[in-house]
Amino acid sequence: MKRAYLLQISKTLSGLILCFCGLFFIAISANAHVRWDPNGATPPRDEGFASCDVTPADPTFLVSGSTVTVSWEVAITHGQAMRIDLFYDNGASVFLVADDIPESSGYSSMAINLPDIECDQCWLRIFGGGYESCADVQLTENGMPPADPMDTQAPDNVTELSETRVADRQVVLSWNNPPADFAGVLVLQASGPPDTAPMSGTAYELGDQPGNAEVVFKGSGEMATVTGLERNTTYFFKVHSYDANLNYADGNELMVTTSDVGNSQPGVSLNVLQGTALTTEITTDGGLVIVQAVVNDPDTEDTHVLDWSQTDMALNDVDLIEDTFSIDPAMLAAGRYMIQIAVTDSGTPQFSAMAEVEINVSAPAPEPDPTPSQPMTNNSSGGGGALSFPLLLLMCFGFVFNIFRFHKHRYSKTGAYKAGM
């Protein structure tokens, strides 16, 4: 009989362990509600949830006053609108970036307008349903780390400057950027050798004209496509690297002559419409989605072949019109889908261009729970299970304690336990 009593205690302890496991799972899942997309433009401080509570991470540098597309993930919906705030002055000041954002399960994205301020200790917070996620950012004039005011030394010149493609109306240039003290390059175009170098400390934009040249490219890449050229014409290009203090290198020069006959590369872009809205955020009950291909070709006499075959296999074109891809979202599961197109022209030699766009399909938001809920404060850090966890723990202990009392009483009353002694 004593063995039977010990067996019963073992079962009770097993139940207690299972109870603790369940409570642990509830406590962990209570934090998994909203977070910034780790692969998006504003990754969270921590790839887990409730990332506002962890130590600030290295910031993402963004341009003050610019428009940025941000994305986030909602694991558990609450039927409440969301908002995005920018905290700056080390959290002492707050700027409302976006409000009344519809809550949707899974990944979502939207374009936001950043305030035209500069800050070095700031973060973007997305908040909804009492839960939040933070992404550390730094807003600067050019979206780059602050320059050293004592630095007056220009970076090294680019290397391996060459024309990788020459056509009748366009030229593709490529080069290698210097490995250190580098922020970007300016490409100048002129009909003769450029006679004026960029002035250190001066920011130039596309279309600016230092001397007899024009700025046709500005960026940190290693390739530039220059269009709008004349056939059988000689052009001079000069590529100047620069650093964060806008110290410009002397530059490397290249002379290129376009062909007298030939073909130019087309361009293509994709527009996504659901109803009359231009959007990549698709709802399954929002009606037909039409993806329009817009082809731009300087050779107006060219015809084009459009190839949609690399589009996500889960998407089916329901109208089979060549320059559109139509989708019935009601047939799709929630998630992200990639649409790709390749366009090839009829010129000689033939040129192709590609474009892609990702759509995020979501189901309609559930109706909010009519039962009044406990209000959450804005400084909630994602610990929504704080009230329910102790209560469940107390109930669990009460349940196990009563089972223990019941079995002890039963064994004592029948004498089985005393007999086992």
Per residue in 241-287, pLDDT (tens digit) is 999 889 999 999 999 998 877 777 888 999 999 998 999 999 999 99
**Contact (CB, 8 A) for 103 and 72:** no
What's residue 76's pLDDT? 84
Q: Say how far apart CA 245 and CA 387 lie, in whole Å.
A: 53
What's residue 159's pLDDT? 95
User: Which residues neighbour 227 within 8 Å (Cβ) at sequence distance 6 or greater?
Assistant: 169, 170, 264, 298
User: Which residues neighbour 15 within 8 Å (Cβ) at sequence distance 6 or greater?
Assistant: 400, 403
**Against a cut of 0.75, is the pTM above it?**
no
What's residue 378's pLDDT? 41
Residue ranges for the chain with pLDDT beneath 50: 23-32, 371-388, 411, 413, 416-421
Q: DSSP letter string over 65-106?
A: T-EEEEEEEESS--S--EEEEEEETTTTEEEEEEEEEPP-SE
Cis ω for the linkage preceding 193 (within 30 of 0): no
What's residue 46's pLDDT? 75
What's residue 262's pLDDT? 72
Please count the residues of the chain: 421
What's residue 48's pLDDT? 63
What's residue 265's pLDDT? 80
What's residue 354's pLDDT? 92
Q: Return the percent helix, strand and coil in the chain, to nearest 5.
A: 15, 35, 45
What's residue 302's pLDDT? 87
Q: Is 24 helix (H, G, I), strand (E, B) or coil?
A: helix
Q: Is 335 helix (H, G, I), strand (E, B) or coil?
A: strand
What's residue 40's pLDDT? 86
What's residue 28's pLDDT? 40
What's residue 33's pLDDT? 81
DSSP-derived secondary structure letter, 205: -
**Contact (CB, 8 A) for 39 and 135:** no
What crossing angle do the helices spanning 388-414 and 2-29 adopt, rounded to 10°? 170
Per residue in 80-120, pLDDT (tens digit) is 899 999 999 888 899 999 999 998 888 898 999 999 998 88
What's residue 79's pLDDT? 84
